[in-house]
Amino acid sequence: MNYTDFFQKEGKINIIPENGHLLIDDPQKVYYVDQGTLLLFIVSLDKDKTPGSRKFIKEFSKGEFFYGEKIYSRGNEDISLLAVGGTSGAKIYIANKNGIDLEKTLLIV
């Protein structure tokens, strides 16, 4: 089984349009890019969880995955991860991690 097969079976699909965004705030989720590109940022959140200023971390392309992370409080603000659709948007699958280490679970030949 490869990553795409695993995520199509176990995950929920999510389309993120160009410049659309998704808050990555659940450490029990894993995110897999199936099409397009996804840009990952660290963001500050206001009281209603609206993203504010952001700092670029990494660009993810088809076939790459990353794990969610919880929201951290720092002084008067919360800090989280934010995924933003790249120039062509992104199709991603979101699955429950459930303690699975994907690098060890899936054998890529």
Does 6 score more than 50 pLDDT? yes
Per residue in 56-66, pLDDT tens? 999 999 999 89
Q: Is the pLDDT of residue 103 over 60?
A: no
DSSP string, the chain: --HHHHHHHH-EEEEE-BT-EEEE--TTEEEEEEEEEEEEEEEEE-TT--EEEEEEEEEEETT-EEE----EEETTEEEEEEEEEEEEEEEEEEEE-TT--HHHH----
The string of pLDDT tens digits covering residues 12-33 is 888 999 989 898 988 889 999 9
Query: Which domains are seen in the chain, by residue range?
Result: 3-97 (2.60.120.10)
List phi, psi (to 5°) of 54: -140, 155
Tens of pLDDT along 52-101?
A: 888 999 999 999 989 888 888 877 778 888 889 988 889 998 988 775 65
In terms of C-beta density within 10 A (0-12 exposed, 13-18 middle, 19 or more buried), how is residue 56 classed?
exposed
